[in-house]
Amino acid sequence: MSKWINKDLPDLVFFQEGPGIRNTQYTDIGVKLLNVANLQEGKLVLDNTGRYISKEEAYGRYKHFLVDEGDLIIGSSGIKVEYFEDKMGFANKEHLPLCMNTSTIRFKTLDDKKLDIRFFMYFLKSILFKKQIAKLITGSAQLNFGPSHLKKIKVTVTEIEIQKKIVNVLDKTQSLIDKRNQQLEDLDKLIKSIFYQMFGDPISNTKGWKKENAEKHIDIISGYAFKSEQYSDNEDDIKICGGLIIYNDYIDWSKAIRWNRNNVDNLEKYFLKENDIVLALDRPWISDGLKIAVIKKEDLPALLIQRTACLRSIDIDQCFLYQHLQDRSFNLHCNVTETTVPHISTKDITTYPLIIPPMELQREFADIVKQVENQKATIKHSLSELKQNFNSLMQRAFKGELY
């Protein structure tokens, strides 16, 4: 078996925290400013934010904060430990020029003959790093750390040849995961394509359907303002559904907070039902699309929290409504501006003009979607198994059990 040792993080990597750039320095053009929101599911995605600084500042006072190709970048503020691995990614040539910003940290290996930067990335995703950093920031439910914490981290390493072998194994498994995710993305695109084939573009409405505001066809419920001090740590209690765990077309229940099931008097209105549509009202659009999902039977019981909306159709098909809301016409209608917290209101939803094709056609669309969703369910099952295998390989790798 290979030899493993613990080394001080500063002895292996250069790291640098982004500067605190003020709002008054933001511009509409120039050099893109990095944001924690740009780190999505282990990748760097820049098309979901629009903050820049002038080229004069970027190549002047902030030139030593300009990102280089191959830099590993992580988010370091306001991140829950359990999904820290999502908030990191590598900078590629197409991302540049790019300037570091607050709450982000970049890494470079000091000697690539001693440390493979991708091996280091996997270390950051491992339980070995998470346990250390969580201990250093005791008392906080979220990760907020910086260089002073990283200086105290011990990195578990082995010889470079073994590092590369481990990276190769983990990369191959990650590649399979990426392929399954791509298959899911392709099926989502297929559903959108079928929607346009059957109903046309809701904006131009070339098929001439009747158009009416959503308020005539849906019931909408706004979530309850639960008191955080009364949240429960009991896994058997009721899950709370909110914008922080809603993504495009799925809900990450592993991140859900819970409410005591014996403390639900007067909360009947906020209990979700199967096939309900839930929509985040704060930061409603991310790189993957609108933060909207459908409640499944296995998700229940669940309660709706404030700043989240629940939609139930009255006289239109729920599946048709769900797809209609994901059309660009809804985004254009809401016209969300990048304030401190981008937000849409229930009025934005109720005044959204819907096309109203015949119910028979809506149901035909829903039947097609159901078939596609069955394919997606099979892929998701395979994806879940791959992720479990990946996590098992990660644990074995850093225990020295692979090589």
Strand order, beta sheet including 104-109: 13-17, 104-109, 72-75, 88-90
Report the distance separating Cα 160 and Cα 164, nearest Å: 6
pLDDT tier at 141, thresholds 50, 70, 90: low
pLDDT of the residue at 41: 81
At 104-125, the pLDDT tens digits run: 999 999 999 999 999 999 999 9
Which amino acid makes up residue 221? I
Q: Are 308 and 280 in contact (CB under 8 A)?
A: yes
At 200-248, the pLDDT tens digits run: 999 999 999 999 999 999 999 999 999 999 999 999 999 999 999 999 9
- Alpha-carbon distances, residue 355 vs 8, 192, 313, 319, 367 (angstroms): 61, 15, 14, 14, 19
Q: Are 118 and 171 in contact (CB under 8 A)?
A: yes
Among 205, 202, 201, 215, which Cα is nearest to 316's?
215
Which one is predicted more confidently, 133 or 378? 378
Residue 134 has pLDDT above 90, yes or no: no
Report the distance separating Cα 117 and Cα 51, nearest Å: 28
Residue 2 has pLDDT above 80, yes or no: no
- Alpha-carbon distances, residue 16 vs 57, 65, 79, 128, 339 (angstroms): 18, 8, 18, 21, 28
CA distance from start to end of the chain: 6
Residue 295 has pLDDT above 80, yes or no: yes
Map residue 304 onto helix, strand or coil: strand
pLDDT > 90 in the chain, percent: 81
Map residue 11 onto helix, strand or coil: helix
User: CATH for 210-356?
Assistant: 3.90.220.20
What is the residue-wise DSSP string for 20-71?
---GGG-BSSSEEEP-GGGEETTEE--TT---EE-HHHHTTTTGGGB--TT-
pLDDT tier at 49, thresholds 50, 70, 90: confident
Q: Is 259 exposed, middle or buried (0-12, 13-18, 19+ CB in 10 A)?
A: buried
Which amino acid makes up residue 328? R
Q: Are 189 and 141 in contact (CB under 8 A)?
A: no
Which one is predicted more confidently, 35 or 278? 278
DSSP label at 151? T
Q: Specify whether domain 5-158 bears CATH 3.30.2270.10.
A: no
CB atoms within 10 A of CB 331: 16
Among 148, 152, 48, 37, which Cα is nearest to 101's?
37
Which one is predicted more confidently, 145 or 305? 305
| Backbone φ, ψ for residue 342 (5° rounding) | -55, 135
At 383-392, the pLDDT tens digits run: 999 999 999 9
pLDDT of the residue at 144: 80
pLDDT of the residue at 352: 97
Entry pTM: 0.79
Q: Are 222 and 309 in contact (CB under 8 A)?
A: yes
> Residue 200 is encoded by which pair of tokens?
């046309």
pLDDT of the residue at 122: 96
